[in-house]
């Protein structure tokens, strides 16, 4: 029962983490304009994401434009595109693997094989979390470096967007859930009731049962 509870908890965390990774991949708020000038009147805010850039006016209107070509993107955006997609696909693969080896399913009969399959699913989710962690940290490092770079004009300085924070939360859920799946091993003892048969009682030479059998 304990291992089944760990499987359910770990799988729930991993599924939520995978959904957050997909949300992070689609959100345009990876980089947000940093308003550091003395002027308090802000005309527009620029959101820069993996797939599009959006301009939000002070009136609330928003216009988005999809990136024309991949080659024009920076290296961190190109890597983020690839790794977030890989992480999302691995999340789907890990879900199928864990469901196939879960104790509540009958896809696999052998208990030891089911435990290994669930552990493999946990490893897949951990790798998925690491895949999305790399572009998040890379992007955050570039944003912080440009922010404190005196050669970068203040109008071009960006700050960390909400998508990065959601991605870090997704990474934490994937790593914790994957670790729980790797630890959810059933006990080695046989779950069924063990039946012990007594040895057959032999009759004595005169054909009667030995009286010691009745003592």
Contact 84, 34 (CB under 8 A): no
The angle formed by the CA atoms of residues 129, 70 and 93, to the nearest 5 degrees, is: 30
Model confidence at 63, pLDDT cuts 50, 70, 90, reads confident
Give pTM, 2 decimals. Answer: 0.78
- Summarize pLDDT for 152-195 with one digit per residue, the tens: 777 778 889 899 999 999 999 999 999 999 887 655 544 444 44
| Mean pLDDT of all residues in 90-103 | 89
pLDDT of the residue at 38:
52
| Mean pLDDT of all residues in 18-36 | 88
pLDDT at 133 over 80: yes
Least confident of 35-39, 83-87, 90-94, 120-124: 35-39
pLDDT at 17 over 50: yes
pLDDT of the residue at 193:
41
Q: Is 214 exposed, middle or buried (0-12, 13-18, 19+ CB in 10 A)?
A: exposed
The rounded mean pLDDT for the chain is 81
pLDDT of the residue at 185:
66
- Percent of the chain scoring above 70 in pLDDT: 81
Model confidence at 70, pLDDT cuts 50, 70, 90, reads confident
Contact 108, 99 (CB under 8 A): no
Angle between helices 75-101 and 162-183 (to 10 degrees): 30
Buried b (16+ CB within 10 A) or exposed e, 136-170: bebbbebbeebeeeeeeeeeebbebbebbebbbeb
Model confidence at 149, pLDDT cuts 50, 70, 90, reads confident
**125 against 114, higher pLDDT:** 125
């Amino acid at each position: 029962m304990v291992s089944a509870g760990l499987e359910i908890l770990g799988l729930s965390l991993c599924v939520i983490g995978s959904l957050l990774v997909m949300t992070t991949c689609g959100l345009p708020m990876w980089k947000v304009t940093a308003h550091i000038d003395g002027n308090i009147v802000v005309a527009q805010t620029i959101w820069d994401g993996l797939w599009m850039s959006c301009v939000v006016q002070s009136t609330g209107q928003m216009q988005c434009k999809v990136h024309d070509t991949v080659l024009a993107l920076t290296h961190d955006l190109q890597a983020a595109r690839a790794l977030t997609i890989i992480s999302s696909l691995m999340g789907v693969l890990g879900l199928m693997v864990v469901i196939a080896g879960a104790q509540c399913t009958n896809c696999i009969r052998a208990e030891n094989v089911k435990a290994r399959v669930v552990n493999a699913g946990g490893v897949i989710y951990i790798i998925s979390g690491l895949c999305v962690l790399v572009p998040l940290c890379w992007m955050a490092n570039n944003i912080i470096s440009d922010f404190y770079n005196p050669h970068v004009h203040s109008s071009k300085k960006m700050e960390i967007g909400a998508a990065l924070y959601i991605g870090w939360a997704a990474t934490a859920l994937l790593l914790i859930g994957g670790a729980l799946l790797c630890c959810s091993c059933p006990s080695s003892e046989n779950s069924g009731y063990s039946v012990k048969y007594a040895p057959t009682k032999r009759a004595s030479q005169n054909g009667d049962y030995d009286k010691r059998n009745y003592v």
